[in-house]
Amino acid sequence: ETGVTQTPRHLVMGMTNKKSLKCEQHLGHNAMYWYKQSAKKPLELMFVYSLEERVENNSVPSRFSPECPNSSHLFLHLHTLQPEDSALYLCASSRTSGSSYEQYFGPGTRLTVT
Amino acid sequence: KQEVTQIPAALSVPEGENLVLNCSFTDSAIYNLQWFRQDPGKGLTSLLLIQSSQREQTSGRLNASLDKSSGRSTLYIAASQPGDSATYLCAVATNAGKSTFGDGTTLTVKP
């Protein structure tokens, strides 16, 4: 266990559905991240929150909407997704002090869009 | 824009061999470099983190080195075991909290 949990672990949704992914970290970190991992592609950074403010948005389509209500929780709200959005969605957290920024990852949510 | 390349893409070795995985990056102005392990369908497990001011880090049978000037890092695994079979990912942070990942090296250690 890395101290970062994600729910659900698996999700199947239709293109018209609305769902949310949840991430929670128990490490006392103050930065949280969403990554997308598609087959045969490197991990893609989607969003970064530092001290609950969004500091990075890597040209992600608006059908993905992140929310960070506090430093321990991160959500990814999904609506009107496309089949190409099927992937493993990984959450990570880190500190923002010092020069470490070592990232700890959750187990991921396997998303299938039908 | 930072680009990270990992060679080889796949590696198969017999149990007990020492092996080296390579990671190269194009922008030497890095914050840190982190090596991860990923088992199929699972999240990433942090193995070693090397800060920009460091040259290497060691943990058990793992040793990671960093040469910023040449844009390279290596992960050395001593006395490999079947349980080491996984995909190994290199991530380079060029500023606080923003990492670029390589495609990974898939390692198979045969009993």
Interface contact A42-B101, CB threshold 8 A = yes
**pLDDT score at B106:** 96
Find chain A residues with C-beta within 8 A of B91's C-beta. Answer: 43, 103
Interface contact B91-A90, CB threshold 8 A = no
Interface contact A99-B102, CB threshold 8 A = no
Q: List the single best residue of A21, A101, A104, A112 to mutate versus B (max B Cβ within 10 A).
A: A101
Q: Are A56 and A5 in contact (CB under 8 A)?
A: no
Tell me whether B74 touches chain A (CB under 8 Å): no
Cα-based distances in Å from B19 to A37, A88, B11, B62, B71: 26, 29, 9, 10, 20
Give A38-89 pLDDT, tens digit per residue.
Answer: 987 889 999 999 877 777 777 899 999 999 999 999 999 999 999 999 999 9
pLDDT tens digits for chain B (111 residues)? Answer: 889 999 999 999 999 999 999 999 999 989 899 999 999 888 899 999 999 999 999 999 999 999 999 999 999 999 999 999 999 999 998 776 688 999 999 999 999
Q: How would DSSP label each residue in chain A?
A: --SEEEE-SEEEE-TT-EEEEEEEE-S--SEEEEEEE-TTS--EEEEEEETTEEEEE-S--TTEEEEEEETTEEEEEEES--GGG-EEEEEEEE--STT----EE---EEEEE-
Interface contact B31-A108, CB threshold 8 A = no
Distance CA A98, CA A7 (A): 30
pLDDT band at A100 (very low <50, low <70, confident <90, very high): low
